[in-house]
Amino acid sequence: MRGLRLIHLLYKAAVAAAVVVMAQACEDRFPDGAGNIPEGMTSISMQMDFMPMAEGLTGGRAETGKGDALNGIADLCLLFYDKEGNLLEDYVYYYNPDSDKKPAGLPDGRFIHGSGVFKEVERNPDDASNGKLAQDKSMTGTLNKIIVPYGEYTIIGVANLGNSVSEKYSEATTTYDELFNNADNDVSTVDGLRGLRLEWDSSCLANNAEMFGCFTSGQTSIEAAQFFSMESLPTETISSNGMEVRSWLRRAASKVTIAFDGTNLRDNIWIHLKSATIMDIPSRCCLGRPNTVEKAGELLNGNDGDGGNYGDDAQIIDYTNGHEATDNDGLYNTEWTTIVHGRKYPEEADGSHLQDEVSLFFYENMQGEGKDKRQYPEMDGDTPTGDVKDSDIKKDDKPLGSYIEVKAYYRSRDNIVSNGNIVYRFMLGKNETTDYNAERNYHYKLTLSFNGRANDYDWHIDYNEEQGIKVPIPYYYVPYIYNQSMVYPVTIVGELEGELEAEITRSDWFPCTEDNPGVPPAGIEVYPRNKVVNDGPWHGFLSLRQAPPDEVERGFKAAVGGDKYNYNQSTSKYNGLPYNQAYWEGKGDPAINEKVNHRGHRFYNVAKTPTTDRTDNANDDFAKDGTYEVSTTVKNGVPHTTFLIPLFSREINLIKTAGYRGNNPYIGYYRYAEITFKAKIKGLGNQEIVAKVLQVPRIVNPKGIYRSWNCTDPFNVHLMHNTTEDGSKPYEPVKSSGGPWSAEVEYITGGGGWLSIGGNVARGAKIHGDTGSDIQFDVKFLSKAASADDVRCAVIKVLYNNYTCTHRIMVRQGYAPVAITNNGVKWHTVNLEYVTTDEDNGYVAHEERYPRSEGSLFRYGNLTDAIASYNNQMRDRFKDYPESREDFILAPYAENKDKTGKKWREIKTAKSLNNGSARDFFKKAKLKVGDTECRVASQADFQDLRKECDFGAGILYGDGATMTLTEVDVSEGYASYVDESSRQSRGMRGWFVYNVGKDGLNLFFPIGVAGHGRRKDGSGKSGAYYSEDDKEGVLRYGNRSKLMPDGTGHFAEYRPLLYTMYLQNGAVYWTGEVEEDPKNPGPTLISAWDINYTTFDFNTFNSDAYSLFNDTDAAFIRLVED
């Protein structure tokens, strides 16, 4: 196992400052090969090149700095030593750009000042000491009129020895000061100068920029690097005119940059980086000889000696981005720089080591060769023991070496759940194995490439988990969709004694944000939680057991004693418990399938033995409830037992009349739950932890991609979400922040072959995306359908947030009617636009051209006065009296837009014409579409959809739309009255029905551009909460015109999710006749079908559309054919 690999140990180019001295005689040229040294003086011109850094291994009071922090030249001394190694004091030259810095007593002729002497030039690999360039530019300069006698010399250049005022130095000095006034060693000899001890200044990085070099003719950077290890420096004879001497000056310091690579990291691992620092750097360094630390007292260890905190002398690279540790009780923050699978940092350069990247600097520390730095598991034969080989050897047996330390917080959901602080350490050197020489003038490029789980054997990783119960943190994400399953990992670190117990102690029906879970957000209307009658987890979205195979229609069926379960009444109970709580706790009525195992309490054991005979109903039936998996491993001698526990989102309807749903009704918000886990661990006793669960917001964009039979336009899926409920902000990309994502064709008709996603054609072939990435891929229609009568459908399944959350996208090619249920009835794909009559007074139906068109609104019993969709725009929502009595343009809009329309009361209904006796008008109406006889879909037809199919709600894109849109008014704004070239890219909100038993055959029911597919009569109800104060023809989906009140006759305290019903989106579709509800016979009548887009319901609509007001409402119509 490899947890971390430093793959870029690039030992390439050393940085030295090359000073090239070009000698020009001021006298006549001597003959070449004269063999003697002339007498007299010569003027030489000295070019100095400052060696670019070579590549090596690939803040606070103690600074970190950008990578070019030590590149400048503050000042420089040129020193000439005779061949015996003694300083020629009369030939000391000093350069400082500031003319005021002339040393006292130094003759004017030997003080050089002024700007422009040094400049940056491009470098090539040959300029680096090892041929591997790490710095593409460095300084070069020429000093002219250097007057010296002809002779043999050791010529040395020293730069940047001076100090700025800092916490270490109370006054500024120059290189000249340090050499001739403050030097510990006598610089009058070459040996004395080379042995000069530099001191690291932790408080001022610029004070550590010292450079040293020796001049020779024809010198290369490789030769310059070798001078430091030579016993004696070479001499150079100045004996002829035009002679050149050159020196590459090398810094005493090196730098290291750190990059991170998650390419080989497993999915479901998060490494939240906190800091990086360099530890045990030399406090002193020889100016001109190899520097080897020989005792611990010469190291600056960066530690304050108290609890592992860094001291004042530490250089720290901060990866927290200014955020305190606030997540998981202050252990980390998700805003810290985080590495996940596939991610690199720095991201700007794909994780590379830029020359100006923030760096850690240090003096040379040559510690030679040593043991292999890599870590391996201790083996017992061929079996790992769980321990680390040589774990008792500190610092790879190089106690005086320098090393990098990276601190982070580690999270894992990779089967074995693990969370905690983690430290990565690496000993510096020129390779990743046995070299411990941190040589001067190098740019060490350290790339921490995380492998596997990134907390196993490899390099030096300090990660010791505390024993206890480990759960995913900070949250575990579950899907917004009803009746979905996911696997929740729980790891017991330590020896488990007995069982693991889980109990859902909280499961909210109301919304929250990710940043503030469990608290209703400010700015939206939410019914007060403390007023909800008998609130508890039974009203929430989460279950430990899967839903019964047959939907329990709670709210309709008779209870013991004949009392109907009507959740509007607080007296509805079974065995003394409100009936939804009774069902949750497994104490419900067995006569209506409400006697089940406890939905929110369960036990798990290593042997996977079903729990039985518990009086609290927390028993197991694996076939009905779902089973779990268990595995045990030993790590570092400690047992790790991992339970993979199934979790479930609950049914589409928990209580029909109350609006409680397993599906998240919120587009912009999460819902929150808590699971309390309990276990007994040997040596620790009883342990307990609360796991936090978030149900993600609904994704509605896109939800469907439709094409005509002969249209093959591709579509780029880019999952979007909205952070508001009212659409006041644009859609934003969904990021799979909880883990990686995948997409696949889940169901497809005809065996497939006609559709591809991300290049994959085969059903079940997955494409993948990394943690934190956008969910985006191409959908391509590979061929046309056979004919206009051919229909092909598919369902694309997207899993995100570590594959625990599901989003489905409906795909269809061809708009011909299809039998989506087993009764053989063929559903038409588009809504009805208008109806005319033929010569025999028969009805001729004219349907919309595309499924995205919402169609017209019809009052009950009147097919020939269709209220055109042009009247039903967003601007028309909730229009007040008297505007609602203005003329409505009748369909077809293109023909009637310039004609006088009809007022609401002029659009007669079967009820007004027949005194309410025509309740079966739509059932009797026969309509021709072409040569085919059709009818209005009946309640039974809709009921078959509900029984046999599954559902989704969101935005449909059709022909001409090739990408997901973000602006709300266009992504939801498809309208047939808009110019075709403008409307085709737009989408429409609505309800999807799909049948997995028929390979994903699907239908779409639009709810209209305004999101309110209904016009209400409103007459005769002035002042009532159900009315619009006698306003007629109001475009509003909900019955109510205000917030639902509580108290007698209103019941908001029993159905808080319907508290804002007056604003909720949805549509009403007429059914064939106004008839009794077969589930609840008696006075209750069903007049239409109800699609609540907001609270996610597809259900019967009582007689309100027909008879709540004095006359009927207007609703959509969908035709079917037998």
pLDDT beyond 50 at 558: no
C-alpha separations of 619 from 51, 610, 612, 624, 678 in Å = 76, 7, 5, 11, 17
Q: Return the number of other C-beta atoms located less than 10 Å from residue 697's C-beta.
A: 23
Q: Are strands 377-380 and 383-388 parallel, antiparallel or unpaired?
A: antiparallel
Any idea which of 53-62, 387-396, 980-989 has the lowest mean pLDDT?
53-62
pLDDT beyond 90 at 667: yes
Confidence category of residue 386, pLDDT binned at 50, 70, 90: very low
| Local structure of residue 720 (DSSP, 8 states) | E
Greatest alpha-carbon span in the chain: 134
Confidence category of residue 128, pLDDT binned at 50, 70, 90: low
Q: Give SS3 for 1100.
A: strand
CA 17/CA 8 separation, integer angstroms: 26
For residue 802, give both structure tokens: 């570590």
Note the pLDDT tens digit of each residue in 174-232.
999 999 988 777 899 999 999 999 999 998 888 999 999 999 887 777 887 788 889 89
Q: If you average pLDDT over every residue of the chain, what do you get?
A: 84
For 463, residues 6+ apart whose C-beta sits below 8 A from its C-beta are: 410, 420, 421, 422, 423, 455
CA 379/CA 387 separation, integer angstroms: 8
Any idea which of 185-194, 590-599, 1060-1069 has the lowest mean pLDDT?
590-599
- With CA atoms as reference, report the closest residue to 447 among 12, 6, 4, 2: 6
pLDDT beyond 80 at 11: no
Any idea which of 54-58, 355-359, 804-808 has the lowest mean pLDDT?
54-58
What is the helix (H) or strand (E) element at residue 387, kind and residue range? strand 383-388
**pLDDT of res. 66:** 59
Any idea which of 958-962, 1047-1051, 1090-1094, 1115-1119 has the lowest mean pLDDT?
1047-1051
Superfamily of domain 702-815: Immunoglobulins (2.60.40.10)
pLDDT beyond 70 at 573: no
- Structure-token match 């009086």, residue found: 615
Which residues on neighbouring strands pair with residue 22, listed in sequence order?
A: 45, 244
For 637, residues 6+ apart whose C-beta sits below 8 A from its C-beta are: 385, 386, 387
CA 754/CA 712 separation, integer angstroms: 10
Any idea which of 241-250, 388-397, 879-888, 1093-1102 has the lowest mean pLDDT?
388-397
Note the pLDDT tens digit of each residue in 27-83.
222 233 334 677 776 766 666 666 555 555 443 333 455 556 677 788 999 999 999
Confidence category of residue 406, pLDDT binned at 50, 70, 90: very high
Q: Return the number of other C-beta atoms located less than 10 Å from residue 770's C-beta.
A: 18
CA 444/CA 435 separation, integer angstroms: 13
Average pLDDT of span 85-110? 93
Q: Return the number of other C-beta atoms located less than 10 Å from residue 131's C-beta.
A: 16
Compare 681 and 220 and report the one with higher pLDDT. 681
**pLDDT of res. 1076:** 74
- DSSP string covering 471-518: --SS-EEE-SSTT-EEEEEEEEES-EEEEEEEEEEEE-SS-B-SSSTT
**pLDDT of res. 882:** 60
**pLDDT of res. 33:** 35
CA 49/CA 16 separation, integer angstroms: 8
Backbone torsion region of residue 719, taken as left when φ is above 0, otherwise alpha when ψ lies between -120 and 50, otherwise beta: beta
**pLDDT of res. 691:** 95
C-alpha separations of 598 from 205, 368, 484, 606, 1054 in Å = 65, 67, 18, 21, 22
Note the pLDDT tens digit of each residue in 724-743.
998 899 999 999 988 889 99
Confidence category of residue 5, pLDDT binned at 50, 70, 90: very low
Any idea which of 6-15, 498-507, 508-517, 1030-1039 has the lowest mean pLDDT?
6-15
**How many residues are there in the chain?**
1122
Contact 1114, 859 (CB under 8 A): yes
Backbone torsion region of residue 720, taken as left when φ is above 0, otherwise alpha when ψ lies between -120 and 50, otherwise beta: beta
**pLDDT of res. 246:** 82
For 599, residues 6+ apart whose C-beta sits below 8 A from its C-beta are: 504, 538, 543, 544, 545, 583, 584, 585, 586, 650
For residue 821, give both structure tokens: 């249920």
Confidence category of residue 154, pLDDT binned at 50, 70, 90: very high
- With CA atoms as reference, report the closest residue to 793 among 811, 773, 807, 808: 811
Residue type, 514: E
pLDDT beyond 60 at 568: no
Which residues on neighbouring strands pair with residue 156, listed in sequence order?
A: 79, 214
**pLDDT of res. 123:** 56
- DSSP string covering 230-257: SSSPPPEEE-STT-EEEEEEEESEEEEE
Distance spanning both ends of the chain, measured CA to CA: 64
**Tally of CA atoms within 13 A in the half-sphere of 342 that contains its CB:** 11
Any idea which of 438-452, 720-734, 1043-1057 has the lowest mean pLDDT?
1043-1057
Average pLDDT of span 759-788? 93
- With CA atoms as reference, report the closest residue to 649 among 1096, 948, 1094: 1096
Contact 236, 290 (CB under 8 A): no
- DSSP string covering 554-601: TTTSB-GGG-B--TTSTT-EETTEEHHHHHHTT-S-GGGT---S-TTE
Compare 290 and 921 and report the one with higher pLDDT. 290
CA 951/CA 1098 separation, integer angstroms: 8
Contact 248, 222 (CB under 8 A): no
C-alpha separations of 1065 from 466, 721, 958, 1091 in Å = 50, 17, 22, 9
Confidence category of residue 351, pLDDT binned at 50, 70, 90: low
Give the ranges where 805-928 is alpha helix by DSSP (H): 893-896, 910-914, 921-924
Q: What is the pTM of this model?
A: 0.79
- With CA atoms as reference, report the closest residue to 287 among 252, 335, 240, 260: 252
For residue 352, give both structure tokens: 């590379």
For residue 929, give both structure tokens: 């579409």
Compare 304 and 1081 and report the one with higher pLDDT. 1081
pLDDT beyond 50 at 21: no
CA 91/CA 1101 separation, integer angstroms: 105
Average pLDDT of span 615-630? 92
Q: What percentage of the chain carries pLDDT values higher than 90?
A: 51
What is the helix (H) or strand (E) element at residue 177, kind and residue range? helix 175-180
Task: Report the helix count and the strand count for the chain, using DSSP H and E.
Answer: 12, 70
**pLDDT of res. 1027:** 53
| Local structure of residue 13 (DSSP, 8 states) | -
CA 51/CA 129 separation, integer angstroms: 8
CA 69/CA 56 separation, integer angstroms: 18
Contact 1028, 1034 (CB under 8 A): yes
- With CA atoms as reference, report the closest residue to 262 among 9, 2, 450: 450
Q: What is the dihedral of CA 402, 404, 407, 412, to 10 degrees?
A: -120
Confidence category of residue 127, pLDDT binned at 50, 70, 90: low
pLDDT beyond 50 at 376: no
**pLDDT of res. 385:** 43
pLDDT beyond 90 at 967: yes
Note the pLDDT tens digit of each residue in 1066-1118.
999 999 888 876 666 666 678 899 999 998 999 888 777 877 667 889 999 99
Any idea which of 130-144, 551-565, 1039-1053 has the lowest mean pLDDT?
551-565
C-alpha separations of 382 from 281, 377, 385 in Å = 39, 11, 9
Average pLDDT of span 868-880? 85
